[in-house]
Amino acid sequence: MNWYSNAIFYELYLRAYADGNGDGHGDFAGLRQKLDYLQWLGVDCIWLLPYYPSPLRDDGYDIASFFGINPTFGFLEDFRITVEEIHRRGMRIIADMVVNHTSDQHPWFIEARRSKDSATRDYYVWSPNDDLYREARIIFLDTETSNWAYDEHTGEYYWHRFYRSQPDLNYDNPKVRAAMLEIVQFWMDMGLDGFRVDAVPYLFEREGTNCENLPETHGFLRELRQVVDERYPGAVLLGEANQWPQDLIPYFGDDDEFHMCFHFPVMPRLYMALARQDRSSVVDILEQTPPIPPNAQWATFLRNHDELTLEMVTEEDRQFMWEYYAPDPKQRLNLGIRRRLAPLMENDQRKIELMHSMLFTLPGVPVLYYGDEIGMGDNVELFDRNGVRTPMQWTPGENAGFSQTHPSNLYAPVINDPIYGYKTVNVLNQQAARDSLLHRVRQMISTRKSLPILAQGRLEWLDELPPEALCFWRTTVGERFLALHNLSDEPFDLYLPPGYTYTDTFNPEADPIDHTITLPAYGYRWLMAE
């Protein structure tokens, strides 16, 4: 089995995690101090948000130099030592690679906008007018009104799928493609175990299309995979393509594009199922998901550093999700919800655990988002998605133990409200309390890793059950695992499929369970059947 199939990924934003040099911003030195924690939690692979030099107008997804480290986070040497320390603990590390665009502060773009015949003009996508590619949607709907921005100096428009400060690279230019492959090799040679490849559907533009998922884009991704497979066997490429299942599948290619892709459509449906106390949305989307190549894996998640995207749901379901989970317009952003997991679950530990249980037992490699393991809150007063990127809450001490600086120097205020504030919600307190969310998540992680059937098993639904029961088998030749979830706020009795004896995987010493089980409100059970 591939290492990633049974791995637990953990996404973290360096700036938010731990401040090692006391300037109020997290950094590599801070992260190194927290590696023991990540190892204790059971993390196998850290995914780092972009750490490259950047004006941080999109938190580093606007790269100004591909070959360095943002000085706020440390130096190349810091990076190297951190990678070594991670490997020494038996963990791995992947990083974001932003392939679609650069910052407008990147020397290529500074040069490109100098004149129409500058050496790097053709690294970007220019047009004398803004008429082309009208069918391409605008992604940052709340900020941008067009995918074209006018450049006064040269009197032409440049193409950008995200902020106007993030001009899209021109993948029709072979120099751009070659440069990107060189960048990837530079970081792999520095010790990375792979990449989360950002915003991949948008690499090429073609008139008369929506400029997403084009065959040319897949062509480049196959080239990327080939370089990685040939030179760095065992590395993983994880694709970020926010698409419907039928458009996602081609990103695995014939086991020759991404090793892993995020399953975006299943994520909001986990929330929908819970809100409606009805499993059907989750069952439907997984039934519509075609099989993937033998070495491929889905990456699944509950939350990440962006808004909880509602792009891959119907208009009706989006309205439902907004009304249910984001009644205050401040909680909405673009086509999504800018809140964290715990507040979405009204801080009800039963529901937070239930969501994790679905994440850990349904097909896919779980990707956790820093802070969700302790139930951190959010701050909708902060701009854009910053409210879900606040400092990690380590202790009840000053600055949540994140930094020793004066609070006014922090890159963002720590969450400090009576429910989610750091005095209550922090790692230290939860490590000390045996029934805390942190301990439960840790237990689920270690149990999941002891059950390879959860990485490889086929999914079979138990469908003769009331709608609030999300119950399924995972099966391999000779083994059967049964996951039971109660999506409702009332307990119910369940008759287990006959012909087996069942062992509770969280409590294998307990007496085997026979045929009836009572699932409490929002309860879940993980059973091996024999």
Q: Which residues bind ligand BGC (CB under 6 A)?
A: 58, 61, 98, 162, 198-199, 240, 305-306
Does 240 qualify as catalytic in the annotation?
yes
Q: How far apart are CA 527 and CA 513, in angstroms?
A: 9
**Cβ closer to ligand BGC: 86 or 199?**
199
Q: How far is the CB of 139 from ligand BGC (least distance, A)?
A: 8
**Cβ closer to ligand BGC: 260 or 282?**
260
Does 435 qualify as catalytic in the annotation?
no
User: Regarding beta strands 236-239 and 194-198, do their DSSP bridges make them parallel or antiparallel, or are they unpaired?
Assistant: parallel
**Cβ closer to ligand BGC: 305 or 480?**
305
- In 232-348, where does DSSP find H-type helix? 245-248, 266-276, 280-287, 315-325, 341-344
**Cβ closer to ligand BGC: 148 or 394?**
148
In a 13 Å sphere around the CA of 460, the CA atoms on its Cβ side amount to 13
Residues near 43 by beta carbon (within 8 Å), at least 6 away in sequence: 8, 9, 10, 91, 368, 445
Q: Cβ(60)–Cβ(25) under 8 Å?
A: no
Tell me the residue nearest to ligand BGC as measured from the CB.
61
Q: How far apart are CA 439 and CA 432, in angstroms?
A: 9
Q: How far is the CB of 98 from ligand BGC (least distance, A)?
A: 5
**Cβ closer to ligand BGC: 19 or 306?**
306
Write the Ramachandran bin of 347: left for phi over 0, alpha for psi from -120 to 50, otherwise beta.
Answer: left
Q: How far is CA 374 from CA 37, 46, 392, 423, in A?
A: 13, 17, 10, 12
Q: How far apart are CA 485 and CA 470, in angstroms?
A: 5
Q: How far is the CB of 128 from ligand BGC (least distance, A)?
A: 26
Q: How far is the CB of 436 from ligand BGC (least distance, A)?
A: 29
Which has the closest alpha carbon to 217: 188, 180, 189? 180
User: Which residue in 11, 27, 62, 198 is the catalytic one?
Assistant: 198
Q: How far is the CB of 331 from ligand BGC (least distance, A)?
A: 18
**Cβ closer to ligand BGC: 123 or 422?**
123
DSSP state of 425: S
Question: Maximum Cα–Cα distance for the chain, whole Å?
Answer: 77
Q: How far is the CB of 124 from ligand BGC (least distance, A)?
A: 15
For residue 430, the one-letter residue type is: Q
Q: Which helix (H) or strand (E) holds 436?
A: none
User: Which residue in 168, 240, 257, 353 is the catalytic one?
Assistant: 240
Which has the closest alpha carbon to 226: 185, 170, 189, 191? 185
Q: How far is the CB of 494 from ligand BGC (least distance, A)?
A: 39
**Cβ closer to ligand BGC: 147 or 403?**
147
Q: How far apart are CA 443 and CA 511, in angstroms?
A: 20
Q: Would you name the residues annotated as active-site residues?
A: 198, 240
